[in-house]
Amino acid sequence: MDSTTTPETPNETPNETSRRPSVAQALRLGENNTQPTIGAGGKRNWVYPREIKGFLTRRRNLVAWVLLFVYLGIPWLTWEGVPVLQVDVFARRLALLGHYFYAQDIRLFLPGGLAFIVFVFLVTAKWGRVWCGWACPQTVFLQFVFAPVEKWIEGRASTRRARDAAGFSFDWAWRKIAKNVAFFGIATLIGNTALAYFWGRDNVLWALSNSPATNPAGFAFVVAFTLVFYWVFAFFKEQACVLICPYARLQSVLLDERSLIVGYDANRGEPRGRNAAGLPGKREGLGDCVDCNQCVQVCPTGIDIRQGVQLECIACTRCIDACDMTMKAWKKPVGLIRYASLSELEGKRVGGARKRLIVYGALMTVLASLSVYLLVTRPEISIDALRQGRSPYQMLGEDSVVNTFTLNLRNKGTMRRDIEVVFAGPAADANMQPGGKSALFTVHHDWEGRRYSLGSGQRRTLPFHVTAPRSVFQGGKREVMFRLNDGKESWDFKVLLVGPFGNVGPAAH
């Protein structure tokens, strides 16, 4: 059925509509507890959402095109030669805005990750499932990419439903084949773009431009991602939102009576139905809902929003535009279905500050600020001194203790750096001599006085060992200092030496 035809629904009298459930039952319990996309015996009920135009749909179109550019464009962009965003699972690093982050940097993101979780709580508590209807990639691609292609090839929703019900024919077959070929092509683009987020742009382009025999593993990834996205958008469709998405299950604990939802104003609309003539005019005993079922026909998950808050509702606002169109045709105020809280829909007074949102906002701000501070103050060169050997230290004779290390240096910035490492002596030691060395400590290495060039993301290992007299160890440990400089900046870092406690013999420990 297109947007210009009147739905074929039987006329109802006030006596018939008076037997419908109460407002409270319609809002909380629903008239039908069955899943609209699952029929008898578990058989799939295919949904044919009717096309709709309206104020909110036009706004969603604008948002969708911006998001499509973001979702499909980011992995192909670079910043000073480094991907703008790449979760490089093979190299075990994250590329973000021209910087590389590694496993040891996860602590920098923990406050930000917690802030994002609190942000989800805040947005859901305030605006409901606005993410699902406006920004989720599943919704954006399904409704604004695949649905228009399907309409272009197979026709409007009512035409597709009638053709599928009629069974096999040449017209049905060639349209299905053409649609699935187009869907596979789009899925190839989406799948390989998604793979580029993890494998990298250059690797994906190389795998696509070379024979599968050259790199069978890489080509297998390309094919796998393409097939997964093709299956999801061509066949699974709204079932991903209904059956898989965990966010739908979380909404029951994240929403409250003051959260904005896409809701039906049952106090205004019930009892629903048309007048005896089925035309605008006197409607004694009836609410504003004319029971046209337009809200059901445009719903991408096949639900009836008049049954209240439901897990399957993704807050896409299509039912709002459909209902407003009907209200205008019947010369009634729009907003019978609208963004509103449950308290508002039940006629309760809504106002005042919500402590829940204030707490969420304050906690999110603190956590996000902490994560930003940690990221901004992170040194461009990471320094890790790893202890080597089976024993933490070795004894040379009775009085000398040897600690062996490997110094790992990594350039996490975007610019190439020429670095030098020097031994600065024991930490907080008054016996330090000019030049930064102590007579008590001997560092054996081959890198002092040499400069090493590190490109963006590159790593270098420098082995060394430190010999110190047994007498300098207090409680079995002692710290020494090293200094790293690149001609512009310098960083001091400590290395912990360990040694024997008390009178320990010359054997290795």
What is the domain-level CATH number for residue 402?
Answer: 2.60.40.10
**Mean pLDDT along residues 208-230:** 87
Is it the case that residue 502 has pLDDT exceeding 70?
Answer: no
**Separation between Cα atoms, residue 416 and residue 404, nearest integer Å:** 29
SS (H, E, C) 446-488: CCCCCCEEECCCCEEEEEEEEEEEHHHCECCEEEEEEEEECCC
SS (H, E, C) 369-405: HHHHHHHHCCCCEEEEEEECCCCCCEEECCCEEEEEE
- pLDDT per residue over 381-396, tens digit each? 888 888 887 888 888 8
Which pLDDT score, from 0 to 100, does residue 29 have? 41
**Mean pLDDT along residues 42-59:** 90
Full domain range(s) for residue 425 = 381-498
The structure's pTM equals 0.76
Is it the case that residue 140 has pLDDT exceeding 50?
Answer: yes
489: in domain: yes
492: in domain: yes
Phi, psi of 270 (to 5 degrees): -90, 150
> What is the pLDDT confidence band of residue 281, given thresholds at 50, 70 and 90?
low
**Separation between Cα atoms, residue 125 and residue 260, nearest integer Å:** 8
403: in domain: yes
> What is the pLDDT confidence band of residue 420, given thresholds at 50, 70 and 90?
confident
110: in domain: no
411: in domain: yes
Query: How many domains does the chain contain in total?
Result: 1
**Mean pLDDT along residues 207-217:** 83
78: in domain: no
261: in domain: no
Q: What angle do CA 180, 176, 234 make, to 5 degrees?
A: 40
Task: Assess whether the previous peptide bond of 216 is cis (omega < 30° from 0).
Answer: no
321: in domain: no
- pLDDT per residue over 157-178, tens digit each? 999 999 999 989 999 999 999 9
273: closest CA among 30, 22, 28, 10?
10
Among 201-215, 273-287, 323-337, 411-425, the least confident range: 273-287
CA atoms within 13 A on the CB side of 379: 17
